[in-house]
Structure 1
Amino acid sequence: MKRPTIADIAKAAGVSTGAVSYALNNRPGVSESTRARIQDIADRLGWVPNRAARALSDGRAGAIGLVIDRPARAIGVEPYFMQLVSGIQDALADGTTSLLLQVTDNAETELTLYRRWWAERRVDGVLLVDLRADDPRVDLVTRLGLPAVIFGEPVVPDGPPCVWTDDAVAMVEVLRHLAGLGHRRVGRIAGPAEFVHTRSRSRVFLAEAERLGLAAGIINADYSAEDAGRATRQALGVGSPPSALVFDNDVMAVAALGVAQELGFAVPEDLSIVAWDDSTLCSLVRPALTAVRRPIVERGAAAVRLLLSVIEGVGGGHLRTADPVLVVRGSTGAV
């Protein structure tokens, strides 16, 4: 079926194409009755604006960008990003702005994408995930003048606005829960050490463990099930293994549950496990996993709204979402 054009609308309405343009772009030059009649005909014909042409006229792309710098195979099984994208799409439900999503496993490629998107007017702004220490993306978007919002705590002076969840609240609650069950040796299987949120959680983990008098250790992994298995074997293979392990995502915690059982550790009798993010995975395994539940969908929607306000030049400033909570299930128990 041929896509209706402005010329088709003009013919059906008996007016000039200029009048149609005025009416559909809400500009002066036609009466309100004519504007309403043209809009009604456009709706009846199924006309939608040409975004490329509109971008040329008003300088807007009608899209925001998100690059996820992780292997594509890992994204496919990572519930966190699926929930995050769900929140983003909820905030874009009116259809006036689209999401341009790209997955890459190369940091330089990610930088190149931002340069090209901005030069080609493919996006009006971007969402940045997995902030790193001295992250080059922050400097790049600032130099380009590319509107951006960071998913993460505000640690960059004069950087883009951030949407963040206070993970320190959850980490303290986790360790107090484990200490209350009698655990004295705890381990943490953390995400990549270069991520700011990994460092922040690790710092709170060690400080609170010391305050509670717990022996604590950290092993970094890449969020995958395979690397979680390696880290779990390493943690449990020492002479006096920890009696509790805290994981930085659900995938790693589920993988660790299987590895622990293979090694002869009963959960939670010999080993307690705590997951992070509390996706459906945590309720599907047995025992069900105690987990930190974060407002991931809320974060995604809040970040989009903040970014759109930055693009419009009417907003800015950091935004803290609701605090995470600990959901206790069968994978944690008394020593």
Structure 2
Amino acid sequence: MVATIKDIAQKAGVSAATVSRVLTNKEGFFGDKTAKKVRDAAKELGYRKNTSAMELVTKKSNDLAVIVNATKTNFSNAIIDGIQEMAFPQNLNVIILYAGDEDSERQRRAINTVVERSVMGVLLLSVDLAPKNLELLQSANIPFCFLSISLDGRNLPFISSDDYQIGYQATKYLLDRGHTKIGLAGLEYEHTITGVLRLKGYRQALLDAGVEPKSEWTSLGDYSYEAGQKSMTDYGAKTELTAVVCGSDWVAIGVMNQARSFGLAVPDDLSIVAIDGTNLCEIVQPQLTSVTQSFYDMGVAGVNWLLDSKKRVDQKITPITINERQSVREIK
């Protein structure tokens, strides 16, 4: 039989109210001896706090759910760091669930877990929900916000970089340094919002500079290291490209290593700009120039969005910066 607060109170010789205060660490209502008696009794009886039951009584949850897209990059690490940094002082527990990569069934299971747990809010990291799963989340009446994905044309709350500008600014950076034959490697731009917007920005930057984009300059991928290797393999050892914009830091490393296997040097033979700007850019040689996203700030802003309903801005764009390192040369 499961032990209750009343059982603990009877064994310790105190009131149920005192037991509740001790077990919820409400200081100032009991002495050290009383606290020890209660905790010893709880341990002896094998008592386990029923969080779900307490939430039903208080009608307040201290659990924050984070649903993460399992994209093969490390983009989520800094966002989760920002979430944790804000959640801990607010006494919030962070529950992390993975929704696969464009996997409708995994999305549904993650959302069902969230709904059944009765969390105080949900942050979705680069997850583009299938329509039925979005309806399921909306029907739960739990506050939610998308992070690191700009849901173009949809009236949904998000905090993200401007993916169009990421594609545009990365390409313009290379154009301003004399490059005109520029590839776009390793990202998904046929079905995903992020990839479509970055492709548009890339193409427009070329057109604004009077350069006609060639279809063979763009190479599909899943943002992974292997996608970067494949893209560079498709370009070939004798590619006409002098520079490549890469869909993630991992893609950039894959492009660079495959280029080296062809005997091409970075940046002398091929310049590379990475998208994301995580610590991966600094631990490789040469260090990678990057369009750096404000991932940590997205995590902080996401928690603030959930906590302060009166100051919510439904759609927020976070800044991007270009960090110059060693992987781009100027053509004179």
Q: How does 1:288-303 map to 2 (within 5 A)?
A: 288-303=287-302
Q: What's the C-alpha RMSD, in Å, of the aligned pairs? A: 3.4
Structure 2 Cα separation of the partners of residues 214 and 270 of structure 1: 20
Q: How does 1:86-165 map to 2 (within 5 A)?
A: 86-94=81-89, 96-105=91-100, 106-118=103-115, 120-132=116-128, 135-151=131-147, 152-159=149-156, 161-165=157-161
Deviations 1:251-270 (A, max 9, x none): 11111111011112221111
Q: Which structure 2 segments of 5+ residues have no match?
A: 43-47
Q: Would you say the 8 A contact 2:185–2:245 is kept in 1? A: yes
Q: Is the CA contact (8 Å cut-off) linking 1:275 and 1:290 kept in structure 2?
A: yes
Q: Deviations over 1:152-201 (max 9, x none)?
A: 22435332x21122244443332222112211111111422322121111
Matches within 5 A, 1:142-221: 142-151=138-147, 152-159=149-156, 161-193=157-189, 194-216=191-213, 217-221=217-221
Do the aligned partners of 1:166 and 1:320 also contact (CA within 8 Å) in 2? no
Distance (Å, rounded) in 2 between the aligned partners of 1:42 and 1:236: 75
1:130 offset after TM fit, Å? 2.4
Instruction: Using the TM superposition, name which of 241-250 and 184-193 deviates more.
Output: 184-193
Task: Report the counterpart of residue 251 of structure 2 in structure 1.
Answer: 252
Q: Counterparts of 2:34 and 2:169 in 1: how far apart (Å)?
A: 57
Aligned position for 1:58: 58
The correspondence for 2:75, drawn from 70, 75, 80, is 80
Decide which moves more: 148-157 or 314-323: 314-323
Distance 1:133 1:107, change over 3 A: closer
Q: Distance in 1 between matches of 2:311 and 2:23?
A: 28
For 1:42 and 1:297, the matched residues in 2 are separated by 43
Q: Residues 257, 334 of structure 1: CA spacing in aligned structure 2 closer, same or farther, 3 A cutoff? A: same
User: What is the CA deviation profile of residues 41-65 of structure 1, one whole-angstrom value per residue up to 9, with x for unaligned ones?
Assistant: 7888889975333212123442122
Mapped partners of 1:140, 1:82: distance in 2: 27
Q: Distance in 2 between matches of 1:179 and 1:114?
A: 43
CA distance in 2: counterparts of 1:327 and 1:101, whole angstroms: 30
C-alpha displacement of 1:300: 1.0
Name the SS for the 1:246 alignment partner.
strand
Aligned to 1:36: 28
AA aligned to 1:295 is S
Please give the alpha-carbon distance, in whole angstroms, between the structure 2 residues aligned to 1:293 and 1:115. 34
Partner SS state of residue 149, structure 1: strand
Cα separation, 1, equivalents of 2:139 and 2:8: 44
Indicate the SS of the match to 2:89.
Answer: coil
CA distance in 2, matches of 1:39, 1:219: 68
CA-to-partner distance for each residue in 1:210-265, whole Å, 9 max, x for gaps?
A: 1012343322211111122111211346x753211011211111111110111122
Aligned 8 A contact 1:190 1:198 in 2 = no
In 1, are the aligned partners of 2:166 and 2:198 still within 8 Å (CA)? no
Q: Is the 8 A contact 2:186 2:227 kept in 1?
A: no
Q: Return the alpha-carbon distance in structure 2 between the equivalents of residues 168 and 42 of structure 1.
A: 62
Is 86-95 or 16-25 further displaced after alignment?
16-25
Deviations 1:83-136 (A, max 9, x none): 121111111112622121123433212112212431x23533221232448654
| Aligned-partner residue type, residue 93 of structure 2 | S
Could you tell me whether the CA contact under 8 Å between 2:81 and 2:296 is conserved in 1?
yes
Distance (whole Å) between structure 2 residues aligned to residue 42 and residue 86 of structure 1? 38
- Taking structure 1 as reference, are residues 281 and 58 closer, same or farther at Cα in structure 2, changes over 3 Å only? same
Partner residue, 1:30 = none
Determine the C-alpha separation between the residues in 1 that align with 2:128 and 2:166. 21
Q: How does 1:220-231 map to 2 (within 5 A)?
A: 220-231=220-231
Matches within 5 A, 1:1-40: 16-18=15-17, 21=20, 36-38=28-30
